[in-house]
Amino acid sequence: MVRQTVVKLFWGMVLLALVAPATADILLIEKVRERMLRDLPGNGLSMSEVEARYGAPLERHAAVGQPPITRWIYADYSVYFEYQLVIESVLHHEAVVREVQRRNN
């Protein structure tokens, strides 16, 4: 009985290991595609330009490090600033998953 349980557990882990990377690849591809389709704050915009165009963020995290990096959080993405300028906009994983599920339904 114990041996059967161990064998089932082993094969379950093998199956999960085979399926998990494929799922991660699909989500990465979807994340890149979704990023390209979205109107996210572009590099070089100032904080005031971002706020004027995209509205106030849900959260503002204080600057850390040198050079100072500030993070603003919006519902579906985060915007990173160096000093006062955008250096990157990043979609949240949950937003991509929601969009993929919406398309598949």
* Per-residue model confidence (pLDDT) at position 33: 62
What is the C-alpha to C-alpha distance for residues 86 and 45, in angstroms, rounded to an integer?
Answer: 5
User: Domain count of the chain?
Assistant: 1
How many whole angstroms separate alpha carbon 43 and alpha carbon 35?
14
Q: Counting Cβ atoms within 10 Å, is residue 50 exposed (0-12), middle (13-18) or buried (19+)? A: buried
CA distances, 100 to each of 27, 39, 92 (Å): 8, 17, 13
Q: Distance from first CA to last CA of the chain, Å, rounded?
A: 41
Ranges of the chain with pLDDT below 70: 1-37
- Please state, for a pLDDT cut of 70, what percent of the chain lies above it: 65
Domain span including residue 39:
2-104
